[in-house]
Amino acid sequence: MANHAEAQAETLALREQFDTAEQQKDASTLGMWVFLITEIMFFGGLFLAYTVYRDIYFPVFALASSSLNAVIGAINTAVLLCSSFTMVLAVRASQVGQRNALIIFLILTLILGVAFLGVKAYEWNEKFQEHHVPGPTFHLEGTGQQGEAQLFFSLYFAMTGLHALHMLVGCGILTWLLIQSWKGKFTPEYMTPVDIAGLYWHFVDIIWIFLFPLLYLIDRHLGR
Amino acid sequence: MITAAAQERETYLNASYGIKSWLLTKDHKRIALLYLFTVTLFFFIGGAFATLIRIELLTPQGGLVSSETYNKLFTMHGVTMIFFFLIPSIPATLGNFFLPMMIGARDLAFPRINLLSWYLLVIGGLFALFAMLAGGVDTGWTFYTPYSTTYSNTWVIATAIGIFVAGFSSILTGLNFVVTVHRMRAPGMTWFRMPLFVWAHYATALIQILGTPVLAVTLLLVFCERVFHIGIFDPALGGDPVLFQHLFWFYSHPAVYIMVLPAMGVVNELVSTFSRKPIFGYSFVAFSSLAIAVLGFLVWGHHLFVSTQSVYAGMVFSFLSYFVAIPSAIKVFNWTATLYKGSISFATPMLYAFGFIGLFTVGGLTGLFVASLGLDVHVTDTYFVVAHFHYIMVGGAIMGYLGGLHYWWPKITGRMYPELWARLSALVIFLGFNLTFFPQFILGYLGMPRRYHTYPDEFQVLHVLSTAGASVLAVGYLMPMVYFIWSLRYGQVAGANPWGATGLEWQTASPPPVHNFDEMPVVTHEAYDYTTVLGEVEVG
Amino acid sequence: MRLPLFPEQASNFAPETDHLLYFLLAVAVFFTVLIFGAIFYFAIRYRRRSDRELPRVLHTGLALEIVWSVIPFGLTMIMFGWGADLFFRESRPPANALQIYVVGKQWMWKLQHMEGQREINELHVPAGRPVRLTMTSEDVIHSFFVPAFRTKEDVVPGRYSTTWWTPTKPGKYHLFCAEYCGTNHSRMIGWIYVMEPQEYQTWLSGGRAFGSLAENGEKLFQDLACGNCHKADGSGRCPNLVGLFGRNVQLADGRTIKADEGYIRESILQPNAKIVAGYQPLMPTFQGLVTEEGVLQLVEYIKSLGRQPGTTPAEVSPNPPAPKNQ
């Protein structure tokens, strides 16, 4: 039999359209998966445009890609992968009811997420200084196809920008989770928000795992 | 007795009062009514644009409005009707109200997201209305580049934002429906015991989830192109204007199935109830909805046959387009077979069902014309296509919607509409519709292009016929507005099941209580089992 | 009062398209009558006579469902095959086609004959000979539609598109722009004049002497100093253009492509898009320095280079290039 605290948590958290906590958790989880599928389709349009233009303008895309700092991009990739790890640890902590661990791991994930955004801001600023931002002042050395080069960077900013927006929302969600964890809202019986936020965070991470090689590593070779 | 009890009984309508109780409701039934109000408003706005278009086309050289204005009129007619009326209409009104009840649920899986969906439609609509009032948009609802990105100097961005936001309304509704059908069915409500209305909305929801995000990102790219001049669709910068068409139609073709599948879902219920028989070929009809959803994603290139798309791509898309016609044909045959040896009633909803089946058949058959490459070369971008899609969207989807509204009106409001006036308006709509759009098939084959403000004299007679039809149609649409509102106060009070229909929604009071059912149902019988309604009395 | 249902048939494709239409109409009418008829009949025959009626439940069979899926499917496959065949032939202009160049812009059609005649919103062509249009747009997407010919093809900025037909009946036929292109889309219309071959020759030799497209192209070639690099003896820093048109070209990235009109246009406007193997990306772009019509003139001139006297362009390029596709 569930003890009084657990029953109370269950009752508080169970919404009236659901019959059982399990049904609610299943529905929430399925809902998040469905949402992530819509996000795949959303990003998909940009990936399609990227694929088409990379195919027809490969040399210019390779040149433009080489102007990106792959080391910084790789560092950012590592940052996000670590943040997914800390997120998994946070979910685990909530599953076994370790409130302090949960809070610590959420904070770590948030720090790593903010770090990613900070590095991104630094990269974008660099691009701005180098006149690689599409617009009247755009110029990429080494090619006569400035229009096509601008296409690469338009896609670069659109895709990393959309990704960064999703990261920002993710950081907002983490902050909310932190507040709720602090208030003790999550128990092993009710940690669904942490769980599905984890799904979202991993998804945003995976998008970056695709973005990094596609944008930073076109035709790159070690040592070049 | 029933009257007095109904007035004292708590229903979802009188359980709470005040504007906050409506604007902050989580009740799917109230949200459905919020949607009903909103989409009806947009229907009449879109209809106003259509009226002006048809009046202008009475004479070959126009004269009522300038070319700029005319181009804005057809653009805004399309945008309003498609994104702010047709796409939300049945799912967000009838689907929201009845999908949970049909599967025995207290509400959708995510009621607050449902309310958010409505707000997103309203906000999107406000952006679009702003664009219309501030001067309009003239790109066509299809926003082809580079006209929309570089050349048009109208309110493209505001309109694009409006559609973008409304798109998320559609996505969230789809998400809600999918999770609800998977997780919220009452005990005993297996997949194959669900009403076919639910199957149709499930298939629709799949399309909403998978297709709409692509439109969203495409509009985002148009926005970026217009604001930042990034060149993605601009040939001068190495971009490809036809890429836009691929991205746009990847959503917009499945979108037409978002608009028609729910109407087919309604027709299932109407044909069954008013034949007093289960739908013939239940599982085939159920699977055909899924087949339409899947195949619908594979045919977008049939909008690009003359766009400089490769000949071989054209052949693949033409071939697949014929595939997607077959599940629709299966439905039509099964509906017709349902009538065989049935007990046919001519109540208004059934008249709309007949209208749907007939007009959808014509619209669908003309789809076979445009899917044929050699013929499409001639008729694409002409009034033939305009006639084809209006037969499906208006002759089909809107008639399905009106049929559903009449059918479920007693359940929603607790009142009956006046049957004689309703039958009359159904007839007026049917006649007005055909007079409006049949001449357009002829106009199209004769060569009258779409989106033309002025036209050669020889096309005038057919245009006059079409406009005459439109005036009749307008009268037909105004009539339900009048008598539905009238019925709220003066209509005959309705019982729980005035039609003798099956389905869980008819086993609760009219209007339903806030939590839908006083006791959660346990389902033990198959869908469309009329013995449960009429007992074992059998005649013939 | 004439109330025609069909436009005139004035091209080789018109009767074929109409025959396809008749087949589709026959199928459509058949099924419409079938469904309307069945509904009408069943509704009356089985109308509700008592409120307590409860019809027997009838179960479908796989056989029936298959029959009414397979038969319609078979019919649609005929529609597909017939339409695809017509479409394929509409995309393959014959070798001896008369070449016309079209530039669409808001809101007019500019047409050029190889011999130099320029027309605005009108096109004179001889009956009985295939005509091939190579088209581009200066601004937005337009579409070249001649209802009497039953043909239509979009005219897209940044690329060439092609359509062809053989006019069969002298007369005057509508030309419409069929892709919405802005304010005066419905006024971007004109006339196709199909003339008896003799009359056409007369028309061709009358009027102002424009100089042929190729002659104008040669002038432009000299004005823009193309010959400084593209030397006729092949000794320049850039590829020799003599005999180029219609030949296969090996590119620096390993691909081999055919030098069609689209390739030549791209080489002028976006020279770094495709570099010929063994050459450097030295050529500057002429975007902004030459109009689309100028490009057409240069294309015709380059086509004429290396052409043996008496040979038609068709014999140099026996398989006319397909429209640029994506």
Query: How many beta-carbon pairs below 8 A join chains B and C?
Result: 299
Query: Which chain B residues touch C324 with a CB distance below 8 Å?
Result: 308
Banded model confidence at residue C208, pLDDT cuts 50, 70, 90: low
CA B344 to mean position of chain CA atoms: 26
Q: Tell me which DSSP letter residue C257 carries.
A: E
Taking phi over 0 as left and psi of -120 to 50 as alpha, with beta for the rest, B381 belongs to: left
- The per-residue pLDDT for B474 is 97
- The DSSP letter of residue B493 is B
Q: Which residues in chain A have their CB less than 8 angstroms from residue B183's CB?
A: 23, 26-27, 30
Residue B97, SS3 per DSSP = helix
How far from chain centre, in Å, is Cα B277? 26
pLDDT digits (tens, 9 = 90+) for B135-179: 999 999 999 999 999 999 999 999 999 999 999 999 999 999 999
pLDDT digits (tens, 9 = 90+) for B354-407: 999 999 999 999 999 999 999 999 999 999 999 999 999 999 999 999 999 999
Kindly report the pTM of this predicted structure: 0.92
Q: Which residues of B touch C54 (CB under 8 A)?
A: 276, 343, 530-531, 534, 537-539
What is the amino acid identity at position B329?
Answer: A
Start-to-end Cα distance in chain A = 65
- Cis peptide upstream of residue B146 (ω within 30 degrees of 0): yes
Asked if residue C214 lies in contact with residue C114, where contact means CB atoms within 8 angstroms, the answer is yes
> If you average pLDDT over residues C184-207, what whole number do you get?
92
The CA-CA-CA angle for residues B191, B197, B201, to 5°, reads 85
CA angle C36, C37, C42 (to 5 degrees): 105
Closest chain A C-alpha to C248 CA, distance in angstroms: 19
Q: For C98-205, which CATH superfamily applies?
A: Cupredoxins -  blue copper proteins (2.60.40.420)
For residue C121 the two structure tokens come to: 């919103």
Using the Cβ of C251 and the Cβ atoms of chain A, whether some distance falls under 8 Å is answered with: no
Mean pLDDT (whole number) for B20-47: 97
The pLDDT value given to residue C209: 64
Complex ipTM: 0.93
Query: Tokens representing A115?
Result: 């770090």
Topology at the third CATH level for domain A45-216: Four Helix Bundle (Hemerythrin (Met), subunit A) (1.20.120)
- What value, to the nearest 5°, has the Cα angle with vertex C31 and ends C29 and C33? 65
Whole-angstrom Cα distance, residue C125 to residue C323? Answer: 22
Q: Does the pLDDT value for residue C314 go beyond 60? A: no
- B-chain CB neighbours of A18 within 8 Å are 184
* Tokens, residue B201: 């909305």
The residues facing C153 across adjacent strands are: C144
Measured CA to CA, the distance from residue B132 to residue C243 in angstroms comes to 56
Q: Residue C287's pLDDT band (boundaries 50, 70, 90)?
A: confident
CA angle C103-C107-C108, nearest 5°? 45
Domains and CATH numbers, chain B: 29-534 (1.20.210.10)
Which chain A residue has the Cα nearest residue C281? Answer: A144
The answer, yes or no, to whether residue C316 has pLDDT greater than 50, is no
Residues in chain A with pLDDT < 50?
Answer: 1-2
**Residue B32: count of CB within 10 angstroms of its CB:** 23
Which residues of C are less than 8 Å from B381 in CB distance?
Answer: 143, 145, 152, 178-179
Q: Which of C304, C108, C307, C135 is nearest to C216 (CA)?
A: C304
Q: What would the two tokens of residue B498 be?
A: 């005035």
The pLDDT confidence band at residue C309, using thresholds 50, 70 and 90, is: low
Q: Does CATH place domain C213-313 in 1.10.760.10?
A: yes
Chain A: give the shortest CA distance to residue C272, in Å.
6
Nearest chain B residue to A42, by CA: B213
Question: How far C326 CA lies from chain A's nearest CA (Å)?
Answer: 9
Looking up tokens 């400035």 gives A146
Q: Please name the member of A58, A59, A145 whose beta carbon is closest to the beta carbon of C270.
A: A145
How far apart, in Å, are the Cα atoms of B364 and each of B330, B356, B388, B395, C32? Answer: 12, 11, 8, 11, 10
- Which structure tokens are listed for C215? 């002659």
Mean pLDDT of B504-518: 92
Sequence spans of domains, chain C: 98-205, 213-313
Question: What phi and psi values does residue A95 have, to the nearest 5 degrees?
Answer: -65, -35
C326: number of Cβ within 10 Å: 18
Task: Name the residue facing B344 among C24, C47, C178 (closest C-beta).
Answer: C47
User: What pLDDT score was predicted for residue C323?
Assistant: 43
B443 sits in which H/E element: helix B419-446
Helices (H), chain C: 13-45, 62-90, 197-205, 213-223, 261-269, 292-304, 313-316
Which DSSP state fits C186? G
Q: Which chains neighbour B (Cβ–Cβ under 8 Å, 3 or more pairs)?
A: A, C
- Tokens 């979108």 belong to which residue? B255
Whether the pLDDT of residue B538 is over 50: the answer is: no
Contact B242 C156 (CB under 8 A): yes
Q: Is the pLDDT of residue B1 over 50?
A: no
Q: Where residue B236 falls among pLDDT bands split at 50, 70, 90?
A: confident
